[in-house]
Amino acid sequence: MLRRIGTTGLLAIALTACAGGGGAAGATGSRAAPSTPSTGTTAPQSPPQAEVGPVERALARMDVEEKVGQLFMPVLYGTAADTVSGENQARYGAQTPAKVIAKYHLGGVILFPHNIKAVGQVVSLTNGMQRAAKGVPLLIGTDQENGLVSRMSALMTDFPGAAELGATKQPERARAVAEATGEELRALGVNLDFAPVADVNVNPNNPVIGRRAYGDDPARVSKMVAAAVKGFAQAKVAATAKHFPGHGDTDVDSHTGLPVIKHTRAQWERIDAPPFEAAIGAGVDAVMSAHIVFPKLDPSGDPATLSKPILTGLLRQKLGFKGVISTDALNMAGVRKKYDDGEIAVRAVLAGADLLLMPNDLPRAYRAVLAAVKSGRISKQRLDQSVTRLLTLKRDNGFLSEAPVADADKAARVLRSAEHRRLAARATR
């Protein structure tokens, strides 16, 4: 998303020019200073001042509880912001989505089919959730990859999935489909898509990626992923490349087990890394971690989601990614083998994650991260880094200073429009 600053959307702090020069030559129109003996030294300069923008202002207004809340994106229950749900009460200690958002100062919410009935209803839901978020608008996300994983398929155009687009060898088609998908999501009030899949599916027995990937050729996948990122950018919907460092060569589903990738470092650099590098080069907003063990990248036995050598060492430092790192869902078995739900959240932040997606026990995870910040285990500087990245993503997609408001009539015109249906029909032709 190339309206982001740099390649990935991390805030660049502009420095203002110093007022008053202090040089030997006087400025035009000013009186000359009295002459003094030369000492061969330069007069001291005032330090440059960092520009205060919307990200800095939003960060400065938050207390530590609100900052911790920004890291979390749970799934909530109900088809309206004020829907009373026993599921919400049991999981979060609050009955409605609006009350859960307020209680935990949430930075985001993810939608699933149980939240979706009709176009007008989803627009009302997303608008109502945004009103419940006091101070900072919400990231409202979903998994709309198209094809096999399409959470909004009941309402949206049936676009072809990644494998079908990859087979065309035409990146422009991936870009066009991503842009149209983004337009439909934005019309519903969804501003973050957990797509595109950047995995290279080199294992035909892969039970979790398969046709969700653009193919088994790193070069082709890279071109498709970069094009999709640019398409989402055009629609002003944040894109997420997943699942880092690469979930393409596994025969275990990380929803139910803990996969081990046996690639060497050289294989990773040749096969798995290029699509993520391409996504970063295209300005992707976020990268999602994988719940996979990759011994040649980190011998600790921890999944990548909890691995500082992988998330910070490789993704941040080697690949230069400066945007938001999102975990995959923290209720999946692949990340819950060794630690409890509170420790998982803390370790994900320490590893380098910014967005904690779908914790299995939100109250426990929230309390654990808050306690870790207060004890100093997670430094306040580290917390501010993650919150700044999240606020920057919101700013760069146009909804930090003011919450987006979806319009039901516009959504009805955009979703499954004749233009989008024609695109879906010709995209794989």
Interatomic CA distance for residues 123 and 153, integer angstroms = 15
The answer to whether the CB of 400 falls within 8 A of the CB of 55 is yes
- To which residue do tokens 């699509």 refer? 275
Residue 263 annotated among the catalytic residues of the structure? no
| Angstrom distances, CA of residue 136 to CA of 86, 174, 340 | 27, 32, 30
User: Partners of 17 in the beta sheet?
Assistant: none
- Judge contact between 345 and 356, C-beta under 8 A: yes
Rounded to whole angstroms, the Cα distance separating 192 from 139 reads 6
Closest among 61, 57, 92 to 76, alpha carbons compared: 92
Strands (E), 36-116: 72-73, 108-110
Using a 10 angstrom Cβ sphere, with 0-12 exposed, 13-18 middle and 19 or more buried, the burial of residue 312 is middle
Q: Which of 302, 328, 354, 396 is catalytic?
A: 328
Considering only the C-alpha atoms of the chain, give the largest distance between any 2 of them, rounded to a whole number of Å: 83
Determine which helix (DSSP H) or strand (DSSP E) holds 57, and give its type and residue range: helix 54-61
Examine the residue annotation and report whether 328 is marked as an active-site residue of this protein. yes
Write the CB contacts of 19 (distance below 8 Å, at least 6 apart in sequence).
46
| 191 Cβ contact list (under 8 Å, min separation 6) | 139, 140, 141, 185, 236, 237, 238, 397, 399, 404
> What is the CA 382 to chain-centroid distance, rounded?
17
Contact 284, 323 (CB under 8 A): yes
The full length of the chain comes to 429
- CA distance readout (Å), 64 to 29, 60, 61, 386: 50, 10, 10, 13
* Annotated catalytic residue within 82, 253, 255, 384: 255
CA distance 309 to 184: 37
Enter the tokens of residue 380: 């306040």
Give the integer Cα–Cα distance in Å for 108 and 356.
Answer: 10
Q: Within 271-312, where are the H helices?
A: 273-281, 308
Which residue type sits at 428?
Answer: T
Catalytic residues: 255, 328
